[in-house]
Amino acid sequence: MYNVVAVSFGEIFLKGKNRGSFEHKLTEQIRYALKEYKDVSIYKELGKVFIQTKHIDDMDGIINKIKKVFGIVVISPSIKVEKDPEIIIEKAIELFRYLKEKQNIKTFKVNTKRGDKTFPVKSMDFSALAGEKILNAFPDVTVDVHNPDIEVMIDIKKNCYISSERITTVGGMPIGSCGKALLLLSGGIDSPVAGYMIAKRGVEISALYFHTYPFTSERANEKVKRLKEILEEYCGKIKLYSVNLLDVHKAIKEHCREEETTILARRFMMRIAERIAEENGLEMLITGESLGQVASQTMKSMIVIENSIEMPILKPVIGMDKTEIMDKAKEIGTYETSILPYDDCCSVFAPSHPLINPKLDSILISEGRLNVEELINKVYSTLEVI
């Protein structure tokens, strides 16, 4: 029955003279999401994007894909018809009959929007006319303008679009419209959620994964790759960097106190992440830190860790508790992968009694026992792009 999906924007409407660039980025993201579908055309008409397919059987798949595209707030499966009053009413009745066969409809309303003011009948008058014709065709239904069983929506633009369903989507801003950042992606629950939340605000993300192969397994690497793939359903293509941090952990173990391991290792992670970001035109870092959740996420720990770099860090889950983060992970589909029991480099080398209130002076003294630049260059040489 449906052959077009109408796409409604959210915040893009507020962008004034820059709106065109936002719409372009959104359209490109829709094309990427639908790359597996052939014979699909994407075009704009008076403030909306429309996706038309020659294959009706593809409609459900197309809808499921674009529901995850940031920047879209509502999608409506629609019938595209000529802008002729008689044809519009004929197709509206045809749609009503189709819906009535699938569900028990007792009440309805017609809602017309006349984007093209050259159309000869005003919106309210056309709604009344179409409603009268539907009543004549289906005497067992009545009009209810406040709480109808279904709403027949007629959107008159260059063409006319008839629909009955408004599907709410993820909203947000189009990917790439608000800059680029590097996500520190572990195999845990928090960091994929953090990446999702920042990408939803229009940030194009790349990701960095630290491992300590052979102490961390290939399965742990595959787990992170799978998390990247799930995020790509929302974020578009993500470049994944991989760095082996084993030599840093060996040096810390040999020269520093065990309880300082996590703080010192994360200072190295931040420096390496900053270097990758700067060399690849990424403006900020993203982490999945939640205040007080683990030893490295106390306020004092974060101050000491972040002292190692100058680049700003986005922390979208900082004020969320674990249950809230888990609920979001389940919603976006990363949770089941995140809980797979494969250790990451942080858990493999975690001290039995980590510092929760580190002092910067003490950490700098310990760090002075290490050849920081040499270690950074050594592990940086293991950098891979997946």
CA distances from 374 to 209, 215, 250, 380 (A): 20, 22, 14, 10
210 assigned binding-site residue: yes
Tokens of 186: 């572990």
CB-based contacts of 26: which residues, under 8 Å, 6+ apart?
9, 12, 49, 69, 71, 72, 174
Q: Is 187 annotated as a binding residue?
A: no
User: Burial, 338: exposed, middle or buried (Cβ in 10 Å; 0-12, 13-18, 19+)?
Assistant: buried
- Nearest alpha-carbon partner for 163 in 92, 214, 105, 113: 92
- How many Å apart are CA 160 and CA 49, to the nearest integer? 13
Q: Tokens for 224, please give them.
A: 């992170």
DSSP conformation class of 173: B
Is 266 annotated as contributing to ligand binding? yes
Across 199-214, b (16+ Cβ under 10 Å) vs e yields bbbbbbbbbbbbbbee
What would the two tokens of residue 155 be? 């959107």
For residue 183, say whether it is annotated as part of any ligand binding site: no
Alpha carbon distance 152, 163 (integer Å)? 6
Is 185 assigned a ligand-binding role in the annotation? yes
Binding residues for ATP: 184-185, 209-210, 266, 288, 297
Binding residues: 184-185, 209-210, 266, 288, 297
